[in-house]
Structure 1
C-alpha cells in the first residue's frame, strides 16, 4: 500500500466481516484500519486521519447512528453506513444522522467498492470546488440552497425532481455522475426515471436539447454538468 492511497476506517462488531472487508478493500487499493465499536473507532480517529468511514448501524453500546451524529458535530469525513435494517424509515434515519450513503446487508463486495469510490469521488470534487452555493452556465444560474433556476434573473419553474437532480450536478460540476448514483441521490425509484428527468431538465436549459451544451451524456458512464 502506498502512503497516498485512500485510508478507510471499517467499524463493525462482526470480526469476520471486518477481516473480509479489510482483505477485499486492500486488494482494491485502499489502506484499511479496523475497529470493533464506536469507542475503539474514536480512539483510532484521534491519532489517524481517514478519507472515509465504513460504519455498521447496529453495534453494542453506541450505535452507528449515534456515532455518526457525534462525528458530524466536528468532522466532515465521508461515512458509508452498513445495516441489516433495510426499511425506508431506517434508511432515512441513517441519512438524517449525516452519513453520505447507506448500503443494506447482505451486499455484494463489488457494490460496496463502487459506493466507496463514488463517495470519495464526490468528496474530492467537493474539495476542489469548495462547495459552491451557486453555479452559472450560459444565461442560467442555479442557487443550490434555494433549488432555484434563473435565466437572466427570471425564475424558471422546476419540479421537485428536477431541482434535486440539478442540485446533485451543481455540487460537482465537471464530474461525471452515474445513473445509479443519481438514482440514490435524488430518491428516484429506478434508473430510467433519472433519464426522463434529465430529458425534461435539458428542455429548460439547452437551446438544442438533442445536442446539449451543458448537461451532457458520457456514454457508458452517466451524465455531467459543464458550467462556463
Structure 2
C-alpha cells in the first residue's frame, strides 16, 4: 500500500507497530494516518482513541472485521473513515483523496461571524468552537460536520445532503455516528438534544441561538 500511494504522488512513512507509529508522530506532522486495526502491540481502535485525546489528524482505519458493530466501534473511537479488507488499492486511494479534500476545503461563507450554541460559541471564519473562553477540541470529521450545519442554521439537512456537502463518500451510518459524537460535545443531554436535533424522516437541523 505504501508503494501504491507513493506511485500516486504521496509522501509515505510506514510503521510496523504502535510504538513505531507513536515515535513517528512525535517526530513529524502528518496530513492523514492509515491505520490497521490489528497492528502489533495495540489495537488500532485503542490507538485511535488515545490519539484523539491530543490530536485531530484524520484517521482511516483498515480492518478485516466488516460487521456493522465493528465499523461503528471504529468510527466511535474517533476515526474519520473505515475500510474493510479485502479492498482494491484504487478504493483506498479514493478514500484518501476524499478525506484530504475535505480537510483542505475552505470553510463556506456564513451570514454570521459567531454562532451561539447554548454555552458554546462557534466562529466559522476560523473554524473554532469555544466553551466560555476555552477551545473545544474537535476531530476533523466533527469539525467538517459542524461547519456544514453552521452554514445553514435552522435548515433541515438530509443524510444525502450532508454526505454531498462533506465531499461525498461518507455513508449514512458514518454521518449518524459523527452526529452522535458531536452531540456529546455540545449538548447538555446528548440523548435529548436541544441544539443538534433529529427531524424524523427528513434529517438533522442545528438550532442555534
Shorter-normalised TM range: 0.5 to 0.7
Which structure has the larger Rg over C-alpha atoms? 1
C-alpha displacement at 1:112, in angstroms? 0.3
Q: Counterpart in 1 of 2:73? A: 93
Compute the displacement of 1:182 (Å).
5.3
Q: Which 5+ residue runs of structure 2 have no aligned equivalent?
A: 109-124, 128-142, 177-200, 203-209
The answer to whether residue 45 in structure 2 is matched with residue 53 in structure 1 is no
Whether 1:123 aligns to 2:103 is: yes
Larger fraction in strand: 1
2:16 to 31, 36, 56: 36
Matched, 1:104 2:84: yes
The TM-score, its normalising length taken from structure 1, stands at 0.55
Query: Following the alignment from structure 1 to structure 2, what is the Cα–Cα distance between the partners of residues 45 and 99?
Result: 16
Match of 1:14 in 2: none
Q: How many pairs are equivalent?
A: 142
Note the C-alpha offset of 1:60. 2.9
Q: Is the 8 A contact 2:38 2:44 kept in 1?
A: yes
Partner residue in 2 for 1:70: 50
CA RMSD across the alignment? 2.5
> Where in structure 1 are there 5+ consecutive unaligned residues?
1-20, 136-141, 150-157, 188-199, 202-228
Q: In structure 1, how many angstroms separate the alpha carbons of the residues matched to 2:24 and 2:175?
A: 33
* Superposition deviation, residue 134 in structure 1: 1.3
Is the contact made by 1:26 and 1:32 (CA closer than 8 Å) also made in structure 2? yes
Flag the 1:127–1:32 CA change in 2: closer, same or farther, 3 A: farther
1:47 CA drift (Å): 0.7
> 2: CA distance between counterparts of 1:28 and 1:78?
19
After TM superposition, give the deviation of residue 38 of structure 1 in Å: 1.0
Tell me how far 1:116 sits from its aligned partner. Answer: 0.3
Moved over 4 A (4+): 126-129, 182-187
Under a length normalisation based on structure 2, what TM-score does the superposition of the two structures give?
Answer: 0.60
Q: Which aligned pairs between 1:148-227 and structure 2 lie closer than 5 A? A: 148-149=154-155, 158=156, 162-169=157-164, 177-178=167-168, 180-181=169-170, 185-186=174-175
